[in-house]
Structure 1
């Protein structure tokens, strides 16, 4: 594990690169994208553990903090999904220049908002494969996020479960079309989540099924919500991701 920061729009995005030891040179790689309010450690240390498991399988793994989260620079009021997409593309470009990484063998795994960001990035540039854990709904959830407008007008910011954001996030959602981006991605996809997760309901998932057809693998965990909820569920999600990425990266 070694520090690897990325400069983007005057901000430092802080991250770490896990390399297999010994590792093929160059090695295939996976980038991990955390969800809203998360960071490169992951809830329950899950991104750290997953990175180590990938490295043990000969796959390099890069995990980083999006701007304004974790230890990366940035103002939470500037946060938007489109800006995170731009950050991810900067990360991917830097990894492609890294001599330890095979530039044509890079995949992305994202959770929730990070999964939405991964889909949008894949619509703009080639990725080997996508692993999506419960992708956020984007503009389909706009009515919920619009409910924070009054709070922003009164206080200059919104507070969602202790996560700060402003108008930039809500305004940006209007222009997002994750399903158009999904149709431009030509590689295999894993879609994994829980049967009790509202982000895995049919109206949010069916357009992905239509876009990816037989390139889509689905993995459902009975009774699981948006978070793992238990170590057993976490391990099942890890197993699905590792099996998929070892075949497709």
Structure 2
């Protein structure tokens, strides 16, 4: 594991790169994208575990913090989904220039809002494959984000508080223009979509359009009784197992 930071719009996006040892350079690579308010460690250390599992199978893995989260620079008031997609594309571009990485064999795995961002990036540049853990709904979730409680907080304090995570007007202004399904139509590779049967982000109106766009290129896995978080070590290990197996087949 070694530091790999990326400069984007005057901010340092801090991350680490796990390389296989020995490294059969150039190696295929996966970029991991955390969710809203998360970081490159992942919930319950899952991104660290996943990176180690992939490296042991000969796949490099880059974990990074989006701006304003984890250890990366940035102000939460400036956070938006489109800006995160731009950050991810900058990370991918730098990874392509790394001599240890095969630029034609790069995939992305994202959780929740990170999965939404992964789809948007895949619509703008080719990726080998996508692995999506419970992708966020983007503008389809506007009724939740546009609640008067959040808007009143932004008006009064310049930021809103969502379970201890700050966001600002930039996020709300950006969200109506986010169209993940248009981006999904431009991604030509295989896709893993995995989540829990009790996860509100896995409801039909958020998932059916992906089924229509990707058809038989979409591989779905549902874990019975799991919500938006893993809930149990068994669920976490199952998600890691599914993801590693998919990436080994598709990268």
Tell me the TM-score normalized by structure 1.
Answer: 0.99
Report the Cα offset of residue 187 of structure 1.
Answer: 0.2
The residue correspondences of 1:146-185 to structure 2 (distance < 5 A) are 146-147=146-147, 148-185=150-187
CA drift at 1:151: 1.6
CA distance in 1: counterparts of 2:228 and 2:36, whole angstroms: 12
The unaligned stretches of length 5 or more in structure 2 are none
Distance 2:23 2:10 in 1: 33
User: After the TM superposition, which segments of 4 or more aligned residues of structure 1 sit over 6 Å from their partners?
Assistant: none
Aligned length: 249
Q: Does 1:241 align with 2:229?
A: no
Deviations 1:147-185 (Å, cap 9, x if unpaired)? Answer: 111221122110000000100001100111000000110
Q: Which runs of 5+ in 1 are unaligned?
A: none
Equivalences for residues 222-237 of structure 1 within 5 A: 222-237=224-239
- Aligned partner of 2:84 in structure 1 is 84
Q: Give deviations 1:93-132, integer Å, cap 9, x for gaps.
A: 0000000000000000000000000000000000000000
Whole-Å separation in 2 of the counterparts to 1:243 and 1:48: 17
Residue 190 of structure 1: aligned partner: 192
Query: Counterpart of 2:116?
Result: 116
Corresponding residue for residue 204 of structure 1: 206
Q: Which residue of 2 aligns with 1:51?
A: 51
1:3 is matched with: 3
**Residue 95 of structure 2 corresponds to residue 95 of structure 1:** yes
Shift of the alpha carbon at 1:233?
Answer: 0.0
Matches within 5 A, 1:140-151: 140-147=140-147, 148-151=150-153
Distance 1:83 1:140 in 2: 18
**CA separation in 1, counterparts of 2:52 and 2:153?**
41
1:181-205 per-position Cα deviation (integer Å, ceiling 9, x unaligned): 0011000000000000000000000
1:174 aligned counterpart, secondary structure: helix
- RMSD between aligned alpha carbons? 0.4
- In structure 2, what is the equivalent of residue 67 of structure 1? 67
Q: Deviations over 1:26-72 (max 9, x none)?
A: 00000000000000001111100100000000000000000000000
Equivalents in 1 of 2:202, 2:23: separation in Å? 36
State the TM-score, normalizing by the size of structure 2: 0.99
Distance 1:85 1:238 in 2: 24
Q: Which residue of 1 aligns with 2:107?
A: 107
Query: What secondary structure sits across from 2:219 in the alignment?
Result: strand
> SS of the residue aligned with 1:228?
coil
